[in-house]
Chains A and B, each alone.
Chain A
Amino acid sequence: MKNFESTFNRWVDGDLDEAERREFEAGLDAETRLAAKAWPATRALLKETARTISLPHPDFLNEQIRREIERKPAPAAAWFPLRRLLLAGACCVAAAVVLTAFFLPLQNHAETVVFMAETSSPDTSASAFQTPGARGAVIWLEGMPYIPGEERVQ
């Protein structure tokens, strides 16, 4: 088989002398002979194509390709690398500080305010006012029945 291949290759390359060529071709079946007849044209076409696509400055182009490969970005980082975790944590703290700074003054300045105060008994009255110097409010009930000290309140 190896001998056949060797002979075949030499035949394809046109290295067989006339006697060898005739002997080899006589051993080929019809189909192979037909294909073999087309081979010189196929080889010529392949040579022509190879010549056409050969690049004028292969070293320069190889260098360009190498640079492109080196410039290629690093593979995508893992989902939560340490640096990104730290960054996310710092952003959370910053957001919390901003929110606290925004909400805390609002809460500290908000006051309790009484809109309406009504008593159910005509003998009692209610008035409301803000506590002086504080954010609270007072509802002052007047006329409430006195509860003797002996009476237990709990």
Chain B
Amino acid sequence: MKRLFLSFALAMGSALAVQASDDIWSALVLATNEAPPAEIPKPLKSFSPTIKKVFGFNSLYLLGQKKRALDDNDDEPDQWLVPSRDFFFQVTCLSQEPTHYHLRIALFRGKELLLTTEAKLARDAPLFIRGPQWGKGQLILLLEVR
């Protein structure tokens, strides 16, 4: 019985360990309308239907991406996510729940602070940020917990 309990505790520990090893992925995307539509880059394939529905663009270009571990570290609460040289994020993990992270996110363009937001990010549920227009396209920033 003691061994069964130990086994259960190990399984439980493994499950919790999975929870604690999430990453946050960010990307800078250029969305345009082209005929025929350009091939969607592999990392953006799952986002393409939503971007088309919400923003109305059929072609996507991945300008930059970055992934790093997301943890609730009291000693170093601020993490920098730099998907591109021009646009980057400062992410502060305020709390961590089994199903989501409560984050404070600041979006910068160079040294200029563009946006401050607080959001609850669930795993595999992306946050789209509509950025400025660039040429004939639209810059879209993506954040996703994985």
Residues of A at the B interface (CB closer than 8 Å) are 84, 87-88, 91-92, 95-96, 99-100, 103, 106-107, 110-121, 124, 126, 128, 131-141, 144-151, 153-154
A146 touching B132 by the CB < 8 A rule? Answer: yes
B115 touching A117 by the CB < 8 A rule? Answer: yes
Q: What band does the interface of chain B fall in when counting residues whose beta carbon is under 8 Å from A? A: 35 or more
Overall SS of chain A's interface? mixed
Task: Give complex CA distance A150, B87 in Å.
Answer: 17
Q: Flag whether B98 is at the interface (Cβ < 8 A).
A: yes
Q: Could you pull out 13 A-B pairs where Cβ atoms are within 8 angstroms?
A: A87-B4, A96-B14, A99-B11, A103-B15, A107-B99, A110-B125, A116-B117, A135-B125, A138-B129, A139-B117, A147-B132, A153-B139, A154-B86
B129 touching A136 by the CB < 8 A rule? Answer: no
Overall SS of chain B's interface? strand
Q: Which residue of A lies closest to B134 (CB)?
A: A147
Residues of B at the A interface (CB closer than 8 Å) are 3-4, 7-8, 10-12, 14-15, 19, 28, 30, 50, 53-54, 63-64, 84-87, 98-100, 112-136, 139
Answer whether A145 and B15 are a contact pair too, CB < 8 Å, given A113-B119, A137-B127, A139-B127. Answer: no
